[in-house]
Amino acid sequence: MMRIKTMIAAAAIAVSTTAVAADIKPAVIYDMGGKFDKSFNEGVYNGVKKFTEETGIEVMEFEVTNETQREQAMRRMAERGATIVLGVGFAQADAISKVSAEFPDTKFSIIDVSWLDAPNLRQYAFKEHEGSYIVGVAAAKASKTGKVGFVGGMDIGLIRRFGCGYVGGVKSVNANAEVYQNMTGTTPSAWNDPAKGAELTQSQIDRGADVVYHAAGGTGAGVIQAAADAGKLAIGVDSNQNGMAPGSVLTSMLKRVDVAAYETFMDVKNGNFSAGVRVLGLAEGGVDWALDENNASLVTADMKAAVESARADIISGKVKVHDYFSDESCPY
C-alpha cells in the first residue's frame, strides 16, 4: 500500500511539474543584425539555446529588420500568450515600456536598459567600461607602434562608454599611446555594415594602429577581417569572437548577455522572477576577457599578468574606471 501511495505521489509531482512547464511560454525579440550576428544578438541566442537545451522548452522568437517592427513584435508575442518577453537592446526600450503597461500580467525583461519603471519588468545593465578597460590593457601590451584603434557602431553614449574604458586601459600601460576612434554611423544600420567597419579599420591601420577594438555588432565582422588581412590584431566584443580569425583576434571583451537571457527564463520557470535593475560588471561576472586556444599564442605571460592585475584592482575598488555615463566625458 505504501509503495502504491509513493507511486501516486511521484506521478502527481511529475504531472504538476509538466503543467508548470507547459504554462511557461518564453519569447525573445532579437534586434537589428539578427541572432547570428556573431556579437550581441548571438550572445543572447546562446543563452536562449542553453535554456531550451536544459529544459526542453521552446522559445518563440522574432528578428527585427527595421525599426517599426519592435513594438509590433513585442505586442504580438504578448497577444500569443507569452508569459515572459525578452527585449534585446536599448533600442527596444520605448516598445517594452509601452507594451509591458498594456499587458500587466505578462513578465518582461530587457538588456542594456536601466531607466524604466514597471512592476513587471526586469532590466539588465552592464559595466562595459570595466571590460573595455582590461582589453585596453591587453591592446597596449600587444601594440608595437604605440597606436591602437576603436571602431564603434552607432554613435551613442553606450558605445562611447566602451571607447572611454578602452582608452583608460590603454593609457594605464602607455600614457603616450595614441587611440584612434571612429563611429560607424548615427542610425541603427551602423550595427550591420561590415564594409564600413573594414574601411574605418583600414584607415586606422594606415595611420599606424596595430590593434583595433570594436563595439559595433555585426559591423565588427568587417573590423576583424580587415585587421586580419593587414596582419594586425583585432579585439572582439560581446560574444567570444576569437575564433572568427584565429591568431588575429587578440581577445574579446565578453559581455555576458547570454547569462541575462538564461537567468531571465530560468527565474520565470522556477518562480523566482523579480522586477528591477540588475547591474553586472567584472565583480558580478557580467563582463570579462576571453582566453582560449584561438588566442593563446598571442597572449604573453606579461600581458596576462597585467590584465589580471587590472581586473583584480577594479574588482577590489583600487582602480575606478571612469564611466562615460556619469558626466558624458572621457578624462583619459
Pair 249, 200 in one domain: yes
CA 209 remoteness from chain centre? 25
Quick one: which of 207, 236, 239 has its CA closest to 223? 236
- Residue 266 resides in a domain: yes
Pair 77, 192 in one domain: no
How far is it, in rounded angstroms, from Cα 331 to Cα 202?
27
Pair 180, 292 in one domain: yes
| pLDDT in the model for residue 115 | 96
Cell numbers representing residue 88 in the block: 534585446
Query: What is the band of 31 on the pLDDT scale with cuts at 50, 70, 90?
Result: very high
- From residue 89, how far is each of 41, 112, 206, 278, 299 by CA, in Å? 9, 5, 33, 15, 31
| pLDDT in the model for residue 38 | 83
Instruction: Identify the sign of the CA torsion 324, 63, 101, 261.
Output: negative
- Residue 332 resides in a domain: no
Pair 185, 315 in one domain: yes
| Strand blocks (E) in 64-140 | 84-88, 107-111, 121-126
Q: Report the number of distinct structural domains present in the chain.
A: 2
Rg (CA), the chain: 21
- Residue 211 resides in a domain: yes
Q: Which residues contact 119 (CB under 8 A, 6 or more apart)?
A: 104, 275
Residue 13 has pLDDT above 70, yes or no: no
Pair 182, 317 in one domain: yes
| pLDDT in the model for residue 161 | 97
pTM of the model: 0.86
Residue position matching grid coordinates 513587471:
120
Pair 272, 303 in one domain: no
- Residue 222 resides in a domain: yes
pLDDT mean over 162-180: 98
- Residue 132 resides in a domain: yes
How does DSSP assign 11-30, residue by residue? Answer: HHHHHHHHHHHHH--EEEEE
pLDDT mean over 303-331: 97
Residue 18 has pLDDT above 50, yes or no: no
Task: Report the alpha-carbon angle 282-173-132, nearest 5.
Answer: 30
In sequence order, the β-bridge partners of residue 60 are 27
The per-residue pLDDT for range 287-297, each reduced to its tens digit, is: 999 999 999 99
Residue 190 belongs to what domain range? Answer: 128-255+287-327
Instruction: Identify the sign of the CA torsion 64, 42, 252, 93.
Output: positive
Pair 120, 235 in one domain: no
Query: What is the band of 67 on the pLDDT scale with cuts at 50, 70, 90?
Result: confident
Pair 210, 276 in one domain: no
Cell numbers representing residue 297 in the block: 599564442
Pair 168, 298 in one domain: yes
Pair 86, 185 in one domain: no
Q: Which residues contact 18 (CB under 8 A, 6 or more apart)?
A: none
How far is it, in rounded angstroms, from Cα 138 to Cα 38?
22
Query: What is the band of 12 on the pLDDT scale with cuts at 50, 70, 90?
Result: very low
The per-residue pLDDT for range 185-209, each reduced to its tens digit, is: 999 899 999 999 999 999 999 999 9
Instruction: State the average pLDDT for the chain.
Output: 93
Pair 46, 188 in one domain: no
Q: DSSP letter at 270?
A: T
The per-residue pLDDT for range 138-154, each reduced to its tens digit, is: 999 999 999 999 999 99
Pair 173, 193 in one domain: yes
How does DSSP assign 270-299, residue by residue? Answer: TT----EEEEE-TTTTSEEE--STTTTTT-
CATH code of the domain covering residue 237: 3.40.50.2300
- Residue 235 resides in a domain: yes
